[in-house]
Amino acid sequence: MRTAAGIPPESASLKARPKRSIPGLTLSNSSSKFPARPFQYTHASAQSDEQLVCGPHSLLALASQYGTPLYIYSADQILERLALFQQALLARRHLVCYAVKANSSLAILKLLAAHGAGFDIVSGGELQRVLAAAPEAANRVVFSGVGKTAEEIDLALDANILAFNVESEAELTLLAARAAKRKRKARFALRVNPDVFAETHPYISTGLREHKFGIDIRQARRIYREAAGNRWLAAHGVSVHIGSQIRSAEPFGAAMLRVAALVRQLQRDGIPIQTVDAGGGLGIDYHLGVDNNSSFHPKAKVEEYAAAIELALKGLDVQLLLEPGRFLVAQAGVLLARVLTVKRNGKKTFVVTDAAMNDLIRPALYQAFHEIVPVVPRPGRAAAVDIVGPVCETGDFFARDRKMKPIEPGDLLAILDAGAYGMAQSSNYNTRPRPAEVLLHGDQAALIRRRETIADLLATEL
């Protein structure tokens, strides 16, 4: 076996990585036990060609059984990632609240809930999903989001969620009013904006004062003190979220230091803060490279991240909440697409697939890079091609000028690292039914969402 991008997961170069020094932590260098992706090539044999598989599952067979475009996820890898966080935080009371927005499929919520996860939601709809998948997890839900409606707040109060992450003074006033009306005390955390810069795409960076998110950390103490007079509000925690796809632990530590100083101040003020919510945002490596000589080791990443947070919280007796989304599900997923045609326009070669920007919008929206590999590789020389969908937009591409081995119509391509913000951000643009989803768990493969039909799409129209 070798990984999707071509190198044995147990390679010597991974094992030989030096330990990095983070204060208070010895990093394990055994991350080769946790390959970045669960998709690997088999060796060609007399009976079969080399092909991409996930454990015992042939992606070729899944594509013929369920059709394409098709999202496929590895439950085993999702659970492995959850366990990495849980283990790295063993020394502190903690709760991993999976960010539902990354992939809100009910089966994935159910899987995570059964293994102790809580949830970070940003809408009434996401709460309904959690309640449908795992009603027993309602008291492990935190409700984030910069604009909550009265109806959404009511729903969450009735479900008795763990806490509201409140993003403005007006929202706190609304929360108090709804709580009073329903005679239910609302536990809240202010989502503070720590004014910390984190290197990421500008659309998904959130931790600066100029962003729409959170409450200026300099105003927080006053707001907590004012709220202390309201019998329907219970100050429960302090929360922060500085952005997404952040590769370095350093900005998380910097934000946490500011939060920790606020918590100490509040505790001196007699406000009994019980939780600190560090938000989500830990990034993955989308560029594992064709030779897979990557420095991305999920276990080491999580340990480094947890250590940076722990260092900042040292001495504080609070429960730590985390809201990872991408890190748990991105690399567990692929989008399988069938090649419809290969066409040449002038100097360019376009590989047109049956998947499009409506199925996975990340390349079009953020110029995001997703590695794309053939399910059954063909021999021959690599040449630069654009891999595009059939949607009537020039922005409908998955890759531009990407060096690929020969590709023929009918071939299957796997778009990697598509488990997060893939299906969750899909649409019906061009009246395209959305893909089916399959969840692989051990030797089981389950269809967790059937392919949409045109009848589904027309059903809401009068």
Residue numbers annotated as active site: 392
Instruction: Pick the binder of ligand LLP from 194, 279, 363, 435 (CB under 6 A).
Output: 279
Instruction: Pick the binder of ligand LLP from 51, 77, 205, 244 (CB under 6 A).
Output: 244
Q: Which range in 109-117, 129-137, 273-281, 376-384 contacts ligand LLP by CB under 6 A?
A: 273-281
Instruction: Pick the binder of ligand LLP from 69, 214, 325, 374 (CB under 6 A).
Output: 325
Place of tokens 């999580």: 302
Closest separation in Å from C-beta 327 to ligand LLP: 6
Classified as helix, coil or strand, 243 is strand
Contact status: 237 vs ligand LLP (CB under 6 A): no
Report helix angle 169-182 to 217-227, nearest 10: 20
Contact status: 326 vs ligand LLP (CB under 6 A): yes
Query: Could you tell me whether strands 57-58 and 52-54 are parallel, antiparallel, or unpaired per DSSP bridges?
Result: antiparallel
Instruction: Pick the binder of ligand LLP from 38, 194, 281, 377 (CB under 6 A).
Output: 281
Extract long-range pairs of 266-272: CB within 8 Å, 24+ residues apart. Answer: 266/221, 266/224, 266/235, 266/238, 269/221, 269/224, 269/225, 270/228, 271/224, 271/225, 271/228, 271/235, 272/235
Instruction: Pick the binder of ligand LLP from 54, 99, 217, 387 (CB under 6 A).
Output: 99
Instruction: Pick the binder of ligand LLP from 105, 123, 245, 275 (CB under 6 A).
Output: 245
Contact status: 81 vs ligand LLP (CB under 6 A): no
Closest separation in Å from C-beta 419 to ligand LLP: 11
Please calculate the CA angle 169-172-177 and round it to the nearest 5 degrees: 130
Give how far Cα 324 sits from Cα of 49, 78, 170, 279, 425, Å: 38, 12, 27, 7, 17
Closest separation in Å from C-beta 286 to ligand LLP: 10
- Residue 442 phi/psi, 5° resolution? 55, -130
- Nearer to ligand LLP among residue 144 and residue 331 (C-beta): 144
Closest separation in Å from C-beta 283 to ligand LLP: 7
Contact status: 298 vs ligand LLP (CB under 6 A): no
Instruction: Give burial (CB, 10 Å; 0-12/13-18/19+) of 139.
Output: exposed
Instruction: Pick the binder of ligand LLP from 140, 148, 236, 241 (CB under 6 A).
Output: 241
**Contacts with ligand LLP in 351-380 (CB under 6 A)?**
362, 366
Contact status: 323 vs ligand LLP (CB under 6 A): yes
**Contacts with ligand LLP in 186-215 (CB under 6 A)?**
204
Instruction: Pick the binder of ligand LLP from 280, 333, 377, 419 (CB under 6 A).
Output: 280
For 234, the enclosing helix (H) or strand (E) is strand 233-239
Q: Which range in 130-138, 280-288, 289-297, 409-417 contacts ligand LLP by CB under 6 A?
A: 280-288
Q: Which range in 88-96, 317-325, 369-377, 407-415 contacts ligand LLP by CB under 6 A?
A: 317-325
Q: Give the DSSP per-residue string, 111-162.
A: HHHHTT-EEEE-SHHHHHHHHHH-GGGGGGEEE--S---HHHHHHHHHHT-S
**What span, in angstroms and rounded, lies between the C-alpha atoms of 126 and 45?**
46
**What span, in angstroms and rounded, lies between the C-alpha atoms of 237 and 145?**
16
Contact status: 419 vs ligand LLP (CB under 6 A): no
Identify the sign of the CA torsion 188, 193, 199, 205: positive
Report helix angle 298-313 to 75-88, nearest 10: 30
Q: How many CB atoms lie within 10 A of CB 110?
A: 16
**What span, in angstroms and rounded, lies between the C-alpha atoms of 110 and 131?**
10
Half-sphere exposure of 51 (CA within 13 A, CB side): 18
- Nearer to ligand LLP among residue 146 and residue 342 (C-beta): 146
**Contacts with ligand LLP in 398-417 (CB under 6 A)?**
none
- Nearer to ligand LLP among residue 366 and residue 369 (C-beta): 366
Residues 106-125 as x/- pattern, contact with ligand LLP by CB under 6 A: --------------x-----
Contact footprint for ligand LLP (CB under 6 A): 99, 102, 120, 144, 204, 241, 244-245, 279-282, 323-327, 362, 366, 420-421, 425
